[in-house]
């Protein structure tokens, strides 16, 4: 018979309740038919889900968030793949320092990083808001790209690359025809992770947005300051579903064990 520990079971239940309880409450209140956020709801209605698509501020900032996340992802991929390859394949002086520099946005508090970017990107160099926002989101996406692709490269047998080179293939051709196809699942997973980080980001966007330029999470904060209806709860449910879908795809592509390597 298996030993059962009632105390451990109770502790596990409390932890899950603490983590999932607020999400359940938000999901339930999103169906409130009234004009004020209530729990438990007084009925069932989808009116606030419909209201999301009728409020111009949400749709415009949603487009901005998508555009910034996609463009930033593209730039981060173009920078991150060569960087991850060099960090895994080459040996050079300062390699550890360079790796720490690439991963530093994950270690620095978001408020500190956002203020630093505001001071030096926007104020010092007078870069336009859209461009500054794109730079900020690229900076926070780059560590995810390098980390995940680096994990994929760590499991890649570089003897295959050397065999292709010995057969007369150029280094560039070998990289595109041999290396990249073997790490494509890692590339896709890194893109999804980076997109989620960018799309849901608040701290960097809070500093890098300006008059007439905002992202969906920032607009949600602004909306809460002026309205108390269940629209924000409805948006939160949709974002939770999108995030869960992305994480499912990432787990299917790589498996959670990839993120514990290196």
d(CA 243, CA 73): 17
Instruction: Look up the domain containing 193 and give its range.
Output: 6-258
46 within 8 A of 31, measured Cβ to Cβ? yes
Give mean pLDDT, residues 24-38: 86
pLDDT digits (tens, 9 = 90+) for 118-173: 888 888 888 888 889 999 999 999 999 999 898 888 888 888 888 888 888 888 89
144 within 8 A of 194, measured Cβ to Cβ? yes
98, part of any domain: yes
Exposed e or buried b per residue across 218-257, where buried means at least 16 C-beta atoms within 10 angstroms of its C-beta? bbbeebeeeeebbbbbbbbbebeeeeeebeeebeebbeee
113, part of any domain: yes
d(CA 210, CA 128): 9
User: Nearest 5 degrees, angle CA 201-CA 98-CA 164?
Assistant: 100
d(CA 22, CA 19): 7
Nearest to 84 by CA among 197, 181, 180: 180
d(CA 218, CA 216): 5
102, part of any domain: yes
CB atoms within 10 A of CB 37: 19
Domain tally for the chain? Answer: 1
pLDDT digits (tens, 9 = 90+) for 192-251: 889 989 998 988 888 888 777 889 999 888 888 888 888 888 998 998 888 888 888 777
1, part of any domain: no
d(CA 50, CA 33): 12
Give mean pLDDT, residues 36-47: 84
**Could you give the residue ranges of the DSSP H alpha helices within the chain?**
6-29, 47-52, 56-89, 95-107, 110-117, 129-154, 158-166, 171-174, 180-182, 184-199, 203-208, 216-226, 231-253
pLDDT at 222: 86
168, part of any domain: yes
109, part of any domain: yes
pLDDT digits (tens, 9 = 90+) for 60-117: 999 999 999 999 999 999 999 999 998 888 888 888 888 888 888 888 888 889 898 8
Q: How many CA atoms lie within 13 A of 29 on its CB side?
A: 20
pLDDT at 254: 62
81: domain CATH number? 1.10.3720.10
Which residues neighbour 135 within 8 Å (Cβ) at sequence distance 6 or greater? 117, 121, 127, 208
pLDDT at 255: 58
pLDDT at 42 over 70: yes
Give mean pLDDT, residues 22-46: 86
State pTM to two decimals. 0.83
Give mean pLDDT, residues 176-181: 89
pLDDT at 262: 44
Give mean pLDDT, residues 245-261: 64
CB atoms within 10 A of CB 75: 17
127, part of any domain: yes
d(CA 11, CA 242): 29
């Amino acid at each position: 018979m298996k030993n059962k520990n009632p105390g451990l079971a109770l502790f596990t239940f409390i932890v899950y309740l603490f983590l999932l309880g607020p999400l359940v409450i938000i999901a339930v209140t999103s169906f409130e038919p009234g004009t004020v956020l209530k729990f438990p709801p007084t009925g069932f209605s989808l009116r606030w889900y419909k209201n999301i698509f009728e409020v111009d501020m949400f749709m415009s900032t949603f487009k901005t968030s998508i555009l910034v996340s996609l463009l930033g992802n593209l730039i981060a991929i173009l920078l991150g793949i060569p960087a991850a390859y060099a960090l895994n394949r080459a040996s050079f002086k300062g390699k550890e320092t360079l790796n720490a520099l690439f991963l530093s946005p994950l270690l620095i508090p978001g408020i500190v990083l956002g203020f630093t970017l505001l001071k030096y990107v926007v104020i010092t160099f007078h870069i336009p808001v859209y461009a500054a926002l794109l730079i900020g989101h690229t900076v926070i996406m780059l560590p995810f790209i390098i980390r995940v692709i680096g994990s994929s490269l760590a499991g890649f047998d570089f003897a295959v690359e050397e065999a292709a080179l010995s057969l007369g293939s150029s280094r560039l051709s070998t990289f595109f025809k041999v290396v990249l196809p073997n790490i494509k699942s890692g590339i896709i997973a890194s893109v999804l992770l980076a997109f989620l980080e960018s799309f849901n980001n608040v701290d960097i966007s809070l500093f890098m947005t300006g008059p007439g330029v905002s992202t969906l999470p920032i607009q949600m904060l602004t909306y809460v300051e002026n309205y108390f209806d269940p629209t924000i709860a409805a948006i939160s449910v949709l974002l939770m579903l999108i995030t869960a879908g992305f994480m499912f795809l990432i787990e299917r592509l790589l498996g959670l064990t990839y993120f514990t390597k290196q």
